[in-house]
Structure 1
Amino acid sequence: MAACFCCFRCFPWRAGFGSGHVPLKEIPSVVLDTSHMGNDVVIVKSGRRICGTGGGLGNAPLVQDKAYFEIKLQSTGVWGVGLATRKSNLSRVPLGECAESWVMRSDGTVCHAGEPLHKPTLDVAEGDLIGVTYDHMELNFYKNGESLQIPVSGIKGTLYPAVYVDEGAILDVQFSEFYHTPPSGFDKIMFEQSLL
């Protein structure tokens, strides 16, 4: 018993429960960033739903090796999902017109710098899920868990998840707690602090 008492007596916190205490910082959630969105965009549901007209970026850059996120189409219209830098004009739709964004649009066309990179036929309906993977070499898209086989490479810069809406489209963005299991090796987007 004396040995136990000695441990408590010598322990640094015996003089007061708080001395030397370092509070842990809570790592924020990845959501749509209300400081990086178009002028006519509305972001609701704690940063997980976008509606209105324009684009929005996630609040965390893609710094990990293999990142995944997905959108759920809540209401049809004109929309897009992909990656962009903070230099993108988020008030101008559709994204993919400038050199700062790589986006798959609602018709399936993948665009960058105003040029179509892929033109697959994409038939989507309300409730469909579009997944996005990026591994710093290739951007890929998925529909309801199945790869669309339209890879995009040669992407450079500090990239953020990007979405845009127009003509009544409403998208819910999932940065965690996914509907579909991410492809092997891919995981939710993480803040740089959480990678350390």
Structure 2
Amino acid sequence: MAFYMCCFKHLCGATPHTTVPIRTTPIIVLDTGYMGHEVVIVKNGVRICGTGGALGNIPILQNKAYFEVKLQQSGVWGVGIATRNANLNKVPLGEDAQSWVLCSDGAVRHNGEEKHKIPDVPQEGDILGVAYDHVELNFYINGRPTNTPVTSFKGTVYPALYVDDGAILDVVFENFNHGPPAGYDSIMVEKSLLEND
């Protein structure tokens, strides 16, 4: 009987037990349904390479959202936001009315116009921050603001990245290298009250 009580004691939690964290795939990733034909997305949906653009799978709906991109390998690239109507097969993004991006040459582009030019072009290994609040889009390099705000957005927007000429980018939607600006947070996933979990 003592043997059974001993086993029962362990099952009921009388002795401490350890938990093993389970690694899960991120909820917000680059969307393979909204990417250019020559784009390759790897590392559980957070790395983009090849040629073309890709959007995040979750729209930016909250008031103040932030995400980061690590420049893993130089080349031609861009980071920012875009609608699902942006042409993801054509680089660079920012040449149409559907995308707003900071490009590898230091230009901030939208609708074919260079809105700003930053003096210090990001280098391999740099962390690019993107902060969006439905009024302004701001960029950061290694936690420092570039002071290049962009305005005039229409439609539902998503995180947007593009690559060409050997560039490799990793997007970070949580556990940031540099904290978001005051009042900003990671992109929130909207959850329906009718969903069953």
TM-score, shorter chain, exceeding 0.5:
yes
1:57 and 2:55 equivalent?
A: yes
One of 169, 172, 179 as aligned partner of 2:170: 172
2:188 paired residue number: 190
- Equivalents in 2 of 1:130, 1:113: separation in Å? 22
Residue in structure 1 matched with residue 13 of structure 2 by the alignment: none
**Partners of 1:137 and 1:155 within 8 A in 2:** yes
Q: CA–CA distance in 2 between the matches of 1:125 and 1:144?
A: 10
Identity %: 63
* 1:116 has 2:114 as partner: yes
What residue in structure 1 maps to residue 39 of structure 2?
41
From 96, 99, 110, the counterpart of 1:98: 96
Cα distance, 1:54 vs. partner? Answer: 0.2
Q: Distance in 1 between matches of 2:183 and 2:84?
A: 27
Query: Cα distance, 1:122 vs. partner?
Result: 2.8
> After superposition, where does 1:148-167 map in structure 2 within 5 Å?
148-167=146-165
Scaled by the length of structure 1, the TM-score of the pair is: 0.84
Shift of 1:126: 1.4
Q: What one-letter code is carried by the residue in structure 1 that aligns with 2:61? A: V
Q: If the length of structure 2 is used for normalisation, what is the TM-score?
A: 0.83
Residue in 2 that maps onto 1:84: 82
AA aligned opposite 2:46: R
Amino acid at match of 2:93: L
Aligned-partner residue type, residue 191 of structure 2? Q
Deviation at 1:148, TM superposition (A): 0.3
- Rounded to whole Å, the distance in 2 between the matches of 1:102 and 1:147 is 17
* 1:57-90 alpha-carbon deviations (Å, 9 max, x no partner): 0000000110000100000000000010000010
Cα contact 2:106–2:122 (8 A) shared by 1? no
- How many Å apart are 1:108 and its aligned residue? 1.2
Contact kept? 1:107, 1:122, Cα under 8 Å: no
Separation in structure 2 between the aligned mates of residue 80 and residue 152 of structure 1, nearest angstrom = 15
Whether the 8 Å CA contact 1:32–1:59 is kept in 2: the answer is yes
Which residue pairs with 2:20 in the alignment?
Answer: none
Question: In the alignment, what sits opposite 1:136?
Answer: 134
- Of the three residues 151, 159, 179, the one matched with 1:181 is 179
Cα RMSD (Å) of the superposition? 1.7
Structure 1: how far apart are the matches of 2:119 and 2:87?
27
**Aligned partner letter, 1:190:** M
What is the DSSP-based 3-state SS (H/G/I as helix, E as strand, rest coil) of the residue aligned with 2:72? strand
Secondary structure of residue in 1 paired with 2:162: strand
